Every structure is written in C-alpha cells, then in structure tokens.
Structure 1
C-alpha cells in the first residue's frame, strides 16, 4: 500500500489497516525511525491517576506477599484450583 506525504507532513493510513487494527479518530500512534524504516505503533494513553492507583495496588499486593498475607501460586491452574475450593 502506498501513502503520500501531504502538507505539514501528514499521511492518510489505508482504511484496511485502520479497520484491521480497530483504530479510530483521536487514537494515538508512537512514531519511530529505525534503519531508514518508519514504524507506527498504536498507543494506549491512560490518565496519571489511573497509573498511580495501579502502582499503589501492585505495591500493596507486594507488601502482602512479603508478610505472607497474600497467597502466591506457581501456575494459573493452581490459582483456579484454590478459587474453586
């Protein structure tokens, strides 16, 4: 597929790619260049508060694991077995 660079360095992505990746207006792409190749990567951008809350939750779980309050499972199957009890 061919895309043409327009004024202000804009390009239009082929609709087949947009549809296949489930992209829509307003979605953000990370643009990188490597060895003369331009790469576009769809990005998910989350609010800072969401990331901070997630970090706190992970920190709390790590603390519970360290003091033995949070069970640790070697496999997903072991987790499900525990949940079924």
Structure 2
C-alpha cells in the first residue's frame, strides 16, 4: 500500500491495516528506523508507579521461589487445581 508524507511529517495508515491491527484513535505507536526501514509498533504505556509496584511484586515472588516458600507448578492445570483447593 502506498501512502504520502504530508505536512508536519504526518502519514495516514490505510484503513484495512488499522482495522486488522485493532488500532483506535489515541493509541500509541513506537517508530523505529532500522537499516533504512521504518517500523511502526503499537505499544501500551503504563504509569511509572504501576511498573515499579509490579517490579516489586515480581522480585518478591522470585525471592520466595528461591527460598522455597513459593509453590512452583509444572502445568497450568496443576496451578488451577491448587487454586480450586484454596477456596475450600
């Protein structure tokens, strides 16, 4: 598909690509130039505080796993069985 560079370096992404990718007005796109090719990638932007909290939770879980305090499951089914048993 062909598009044209407009005023203020703007381009229009063809509608069928927008629909196929599920893009909507306001979505964020990362733009990268690599070896003469321009890539556009949809991205999700999260507040730094949320990412810091998530990183902290992950580090706590890793520490529990290392200390043998966090159960590790071989399959998703085993995880769900353990979760079903926790409700009783």
Q: TM-score with structure 1 length normalisation?
A: 0.85
Following superposition, the deviation at residue 69 of structure 1 comes to 1.6
Partner of 1:40: 40
Aligned residue for 1:38, secondary structure, equals strand
Return the alpha-carbon distance in structure 1 between the equivalents of residues 62 and 35 of structure 2: 41
Match of 1:25?
25
Moved more, 7-16 or 75-84: 75-84
2:69 maps to 69
Tell me how large the CA RMSD over aligned residues is.
1.5
Tell me the CA shift for residue 13 of structure 1: 0.6
1: distance between equivalents of 2:26 and 2:60?
34
TM-score (norm 2): 0.83
Question: Which stretches of structure 1, 4 residues or longer, exceed 6 Å deviation after superposition?
Answer: none
CA distance in 2, matches of 1:2, 1:49: 41
Q: Structure 1 unaligned runs (5+)?
A: none
What is the CA-CA distance between 1:22 and the residue it aligns to?
A: 1.2
Residue deviations 1:36-64 (CA, integer Å, cap 9, x gap): 21111011111111101100110111121
- Where does residue 60 of structure 2 map in the other structure? 60
